[in-house]
Amino acid sequence: MKFRKWAFMAILFLAICPVSAWSDIQHTARPGSINYFEGQASIGAVPVTTASVGTVELEKGQVLTTQAGKVEILLTPGIFLRIADNSAVKMISPDLTNTEVELENGRAIIEAIDLRKENLIRLDQNGATSTILKKGLYDFDADHSQVRVFDGEVQVQVGIHTLTVKGGHMAALGTDVPLKSQGFSSRVYQDEFYRFSSLRSGYLSEASIDVARTYIGTGPGWYGPGWVGWGWYWNPWFSAYTFLPGDGIFFSPFGWGFYAPVAVYYSPYFFGPHMPHAFGEFHGPYGHGYGEPRMGVKR
C-alpha cells in the first residue's frame, strides 16, 4: 500500500512538474560546455569531475587534457566534440558564429547533426585547419597526422593549399607531405572510441525524446517559452544537454533520431508528456526502430 502511494506521488509529480524547472537552464549552454565526463581529465591544473558536467565551460585559451578518460564538449547546437583518452584540446574561439578548437595531441571526433550557414566550425591540428562544411562524422588524429571523414565534407587548409575531403576519405596532414585525400575502409577505424561516440549519440537521442515530450503539453505546440525551440536543452534525468530541432526529425551520422516536440506528438506511440516509451520505439541503427514516427525521413 505504501509503495503504491509513493508510485502515485511520483507519477503525479512528473505530470504536474512545471516546465520552468527545465526551461530555467535551457539554452544556457555555450560552445565549450562540458557535457559528459568519465575517467581522468583536467582543465589546466583543475581536475574535471562529474560536477563539471553542465556547469563548466572550456574558455578561450584553456586546454583540456585527458589521461585515462573521455570528455564530451558542446560546440554549436547539434554539434558534439568528443575527446579520447590521452588527448589534449585547446579552445581557440568559443564564439557561436566562430567556433575553433585545436587538437594538440591524441584524437577527437566531431559529430555534426545540424550545421547552420552562420556557423563556422574549425579544428586545428598538425599545422592544418579543417573547416566543417556539412553535417557528418569526422575523426581527427593528431598523433598520426590524419583527418578521416566517415560522413560529410571538410575543407582542409595547410598554408596556401586547400583540399576538400568527402565522406569515406582521409587525408594526411603536415607541411612536409602532399595534401591529398584517399579512400579508407570505415570498419578499420570503428574502434572503441568510435563505439563510445555512437553510444553517447544514442543516449542523447533518447534524452531528446524525453525533453520533447516535456514541451508538448496537450497538443503539438510548444508548452514552454514562445521560442522556436531549436538549441541545447538540459535533461536532468540524463544529466546532460541534448539537441532539439525546431521542427521535424534530425538523424545523427550514427542513425539516431533527434526530435522536435511536434514530431514526437504525431508519433503513433505518443501517449502524452512524461509517459514512458521503450527506447526501440523511436530508435534503431540508422532510424530502423520498430516504431518509426510518422513524420521525418528514414535513414
168-211 tens-digit pLDDT: 999 999 777 788 999 999 999 999 999 999 999 999 999 988 88
pLDDT for res 176: 75
pLDDT for res 246: 77
Give the CA radius of gyration of the chain. 20
* Short-list 201, 214, 189, 178, CA closest to 279: 201
Question: Which of 3.30.565.10, 3.30.160.100, 3.40.710.10, 2.60.120.1440 would CATH assign to domain 34-192?
Answer: 2.60.120.1440
Region 153-162: mean pLDDT is 94
pLDDT at 229 over 70: no
Region 157-163: mean pLDDT is 92
Region 80-90: mean pLDDT is 98
Antiparallel, parallel or unpaired: β 79-83 and 107-112 = antiparallel
- Give me 271's grid cell: 501517449
Query: Could you tell me if 231 and 77 are in contact, meaning their C-beta atoms sit under 8 angstroms apart?
Result: yes
What is the reported pTM?
0.81
What residues does each domain of the chain span? Answer: 34-192, 193-287
pLDDT at 137 over 80: yes
pLDDT at 56 over 60: yes
Q: What percent of the chain has pLDDT over 70?
A: 73
SS3 202: helix
pLDDT for res 262: 72
Residue 124: in which H helix or E strand, if any? strand 121-125
CB under 8 Å to 20, separation ≥6 — which residues?
A: none
